[in-house]
Structure 1
Amino acid sequence: MLDLRQLTYLIAVDRRRSFARAAEDLGMSQSALSRAIQALESRLGVRLFDRDRAGVLPTEQGREVVAMAADLLAASGDLERQVNLMRAGGTGRIRFGLAPLPAHALLPAILAERIATLPDLANDVVVRNVNALWPLLLGGEIEFFVSAEGQVPESHAIRAESLGAFPITQVVRPGHPLLSGQDDGKPYPVLLSSSTGLMAPSTMQPAETGTAHIIEDFNTLVAATQGTDAIWRTSAYAVWRELAAGTLCALPHAGGDAPRRMRMMIYSLARRSISPAARGLRDAFEKAVTALAAQAGDPA
């Protein structure tokens, strides 16, 4: 097998057209460099350089070998750079999942930032309810998923890490009767993005007595809330843009109590090592939750 150092020596001699100058560049003796080139010629079975008083010139075969050596050294450098990027989580492909609520709250900003800063890292993202993400995790099709706590079976095979807490918020359209205290006792439909994990705290408005509708698509949930008297049980973190714009409104908590919270978790297989890319994403999700809390003036 060829020694990459010999190819480096070959390129140096071809560039400098002098064993003495090449040896000086390489920090070695001229005799050692000459022996290395002779050994390479012997191994390849071709003469690489013609040597005379005028200097050193590559032979016809030598020029071809120099060109191939340059390609090999460039490929070796690319390999090392790619491995370094992979070790830092900056290249390759990562497959992960999120439940609809954290996906809407966290994913757009995180993906935009990572696509801009890590263009060689491919992201395969699955947005589903937990009952669909769970088998994908167990089957090794995704490396981790993000969802609210309490939606997966307790298991020693699972690694669960907290990303932070989301406030639970009841969201309605502007002008909704409940915003002005006009509770006429009628049942209001309830909208949810998932069938599990977002239980209504006892301190919330008691008007959630109508039919519950499970809708995974957030654009549809926004439109349905704006166009009906339904109460959307979600988190202010997921709809902060709509709340800030006044296109949706948050119902006040009973008695002015602080909002109840749900912990957002990242779930992975305990037996599987966490890749550098996954560690980077976990840190990005934690920072995003902290940023949302600061944006909302939420100390938690």
Structure 2
Amino acid sequence: MLDLIRLAHVVTIAREGNYNAAAASIPLSQSTLTRSVQAVESQYGIQIFERGRFGARLTEEGADFVEMAEHVLRRSEADSDALAAFGRHGPRTVRFGMGSIAAALFLPRLLRQLDASVSGVRVVVESNDGLRALLRSGQIDFFLGGIPRESNGFAAAHHFLVSRVPGGDLCALVRPGHPLVDSRDRSALPAFPVAAGAFIRDLDIDRILPGIRTRGPALEMDNYDFLARLAGETDHVVIGSAFLPVIRPEFGLVRVPGSDIRELPLDWGLVRAAQRRSPEGALRVAQSLLSLVNESLVAQDPQP
């Protein structure tokens, strides 16, 4: 049985750096806190902390465990908020998710266009893995994310209903004046650090952009507003949709010539659970989002 209170104890110790400070902040006696951590370590068969003069130092597996525990606690808090919102507003509150690039492209305009009959909206920007989990558990009504065009078995494998819109190519994006803008030498890409949404961990970047990861792991962040600012102030190369510079020109990004990842064509997929009826308000918002995606992609030409 998952014990959220004990997980919170572990996370607090990791944050405070020692048992005394953690016990004082909870508040809880140090002996009780020690027993709580020991119970967690026994349950999962790992050692989370090493104790000594230095305080409470995370072991290697303890650091990984704390990262997962923080994710579980955040999700639990979101679930609690969702239940509270349901109690206040009932099923008219629309809950949906978007992948990081989809949110950057379409969310600002969608929020301006939402029907006044929708009394509340909860939007989650997550990786596709996270969105699938949220949809399966009923925490969101639908999501919009990128789907590889050749993945024909995606819907059946997950018991989803998918409405697809051709999404164009991924490409490398940089600030104007970046050294890569005037270079058509694709081999120059490895000289610069790379940033992208968490989807990048699922891609064989070494194959589709050979050598691009020689500077180490890409910076992963599901927030393209931040990634655009990062690229505008540094030499980072952002992997994103070829539509970003034209749909969100305020980002100030330009495409690196010859960097389109045509080996990985994407569709936008609006995904719902096949075995669960969607609320009317959610269906209206989903249809508005599909129409907006179609209109945006037809109206804009991502070609340089």
Would you say same fold, with TM above 0.5?
Answer: yes
User: Who is 2:52 aligned against?
Assistant: none
1:120 CA displacement: 4.2
User: Who is 2:54 aligned against?
Assistant: none
Gaps of 5+ in 2: 1-90
1:125 CA displacement: 1.1
Cα distance per residue 1:159-206 (max 9 Å; x no partner)? 222133233221011111111117584522111112346665977686
Conserved? CA contact 1:162–1:264, under 8 Å: yes
1:271 CA displacement: 0.6
Conserved? CA contact 2:118–2:281, under 8 Å: no
Question: Could you tell me which of 293, 296, 299 is aligned with 1:292?
Answer: 296
User: Who is 1:250 aligned against?
Assistant: 255
What SS does structure 1 have at the residue aligned with 2:140? coil
- Let me know the Cα RMSD of the aligned residues: 3.3
Conserved? CA contact 2:144–2:268, under 8 Å: yes
User: CA separation of 1:288/1:121 partners in 2, compared to 1, >3 Å: closer, same or farther?
Assistant: same
User: CA separation of 1:208/1:287 partners in 2, compared to 1, >3 Å: closer, same or farther?
Assistant: farther
User: CA separation of 1:245/1:134 partners in 2, compared to 1, >3 Å: closer, same or farther?
Assistant: closer
Q: Whose radius of gyration is greater, 1 or 2?
A: 1
Measure the CA separation in 2 of the matches of 1:237 and 1:259.
Answer: 17
Conserved? CA contact 1:164–1:286, under 8 Å: no
Query: Under a length normalisation based on structure 1, what TM-score does the superposition of the two structures give?
Result: 0.58
1:285 CA displacement: 2.0
What SS does structure 2 have at the residue aligned with 1:174? coil
Q: 1:58-77 residue pairs with structure 2 within 5 A?
A: none
Identity of aligned residues (%): 20
Q: How many corresponding residue pairs?
A: 205
Give 1 or 2: higher helix fraction: 2
Measure the CA separation in 1 of the matches of 2:191 and 2:233.
Answer: 16
Q: 1:217-232 residue pairs with structure 2 within 5 A?
A: 217-232=223-238
Question: Could you tell me which of 268, 273, 284 is aligned with 2:272?
Answer: 268
Cα distance per residue 1:271-290 (max 9 Å; x no partner)? 11233223222322222222
Query: Under a length normalisation based on structure 2, what TM-score does the superposition of the two structures give?
Result: 0.57
User: CA separation of 1:278/1:175 partners in 2, compared to 1, >3 Å: closer, same or farther?
Assistant: same
Cα distance per residue 1:281-300 (max 9 Å; x no partner)? 2322222222222332369x
Gaps of 5+ in 1: 1-90
